[in-house]
């Protein structure tokens, strides 16, 4: 790899880390300044962390079609950190729900999961993210073998769908934002199919 490409990748990695950490820095600022927009700070924390998860998942899913369209294989280097940041914000999202909403009450969480479908799909998406995060290293690829590792990491598709569904079902009034994310996800998934089919015909 040339020095110019190495510097570009380094700059992009720095930009990725800054962009991915920005929602956390904003939350920390809001917590210490008390500048939450919503009447319920916990609701705003959950909304911000949830949106961060979706954006990072969508960026992760976009890596492969962008790599195939541009021919720049180095883009694959950004998929793992994007996925891990998605898991990080999903953990914050779940933590705020378990601790602030339910006060770590197992019976309260179980009842909420049974009563509200959006809690069930959100909880399912978070659980599915865990094996992806745990097996994200090169060591796990060697242990599991390429095929089994790839099967686990295909969970990102149902996770993304469940994440959008979780967002849509919990919105009570304005559904335009979750619908926008549903359209974005549909475009990303369609682009993956189109790019893959074009590669096969070439």
Task: Report in angstroms the alpha-carbon separations of 157 from 20, 27, 132, 189.
Answer: 21, 28, 12, 8
pLDDT digits (tens, 9 = 90+) for 31-75: 888 777 767 888 889 999 999 999 999 999 999 888 888 888 888
Looking at residues 97-112, what average pLDDT do you find?
89
Hey, where are the domains in the chain?
Answer: 3-201
| 184 phi and psi angles, rounded to 5 deg | -60, -45
pLDDT of residue 202: 47
What is the topology classification, in CATH, of domain 3-201?
1.20.120
pLDDT of residue 84: 96
Comparing 113-117, 141-145, 195-199, the range with the smallest average pLDDT is 195-199
Model confidence at 200: pLDDT above 70 = no
pLDDT digits (tens, 9 = 90+) for 127-158: 999 999 999 988 898 898 888 999 999 999 99
Average model confidence (pLDDT) across the chain: 89
Model confidence at 201: pLDDT above 60 = no
- In the numeric block, which tokens belong to residue 161? 């769908």
Q: Which long-range contacts (CB under 8 A, 24 or more apart) does 76-83 make?
A: 77/9, 77/13, 78/12, 78/13, 78/16, 80/136, 81/13, 81/16, 81/17, 81/20, 82/16, 82/20, 82/56, 83/56, 83/57, 83/132, 83/133, 83/136, 83/156
Of residues 197 and 158, more confidence is placed in 158
- pTM of the entire predicted model: 0.90
């Amino acid at each position: 790899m040339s020095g110019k490409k190495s510097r570009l990748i380094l700059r992009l990695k720095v930009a990725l880390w800054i962009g991915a950490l920005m929602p956390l820095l904003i939350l920390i600022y809001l917590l210490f300044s008390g500048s939450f927009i919503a009447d319920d700070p916990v609701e705003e924390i959950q909304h911000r962390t949830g949106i961060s998860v979706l954006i990072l998942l969508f960026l992760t899913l976009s890596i492969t079609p962008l790599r195939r369209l541009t021919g720049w294989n180095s883009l694959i280097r950004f998929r793992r950190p994007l996925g891990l940041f998605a898991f990080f914000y999903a953990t914050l999202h779940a933590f705020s729900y378990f601790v602030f909403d339910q006060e770590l009450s197992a019976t309260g969480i179980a009842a909420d999961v049974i009563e509200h479908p959006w809690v069930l799909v959100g909880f399912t998406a978070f659980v599915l993210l865990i094996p992806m995060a745990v097996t994200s290293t090169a060591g796990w690829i060697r242990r599991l073998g390429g095929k089994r590792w790839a099967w686990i990491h295909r969970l990102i598709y149902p996770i993304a769908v469940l994440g959008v569904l979780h967002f849509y079902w919990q919105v009570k009034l304005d559904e335009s934002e979750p619908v926008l994310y549903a359209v974005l996800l549909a475009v990303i998934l369609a682009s993956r199919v189109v790019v893959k089919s074009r590669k096969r015909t070439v």
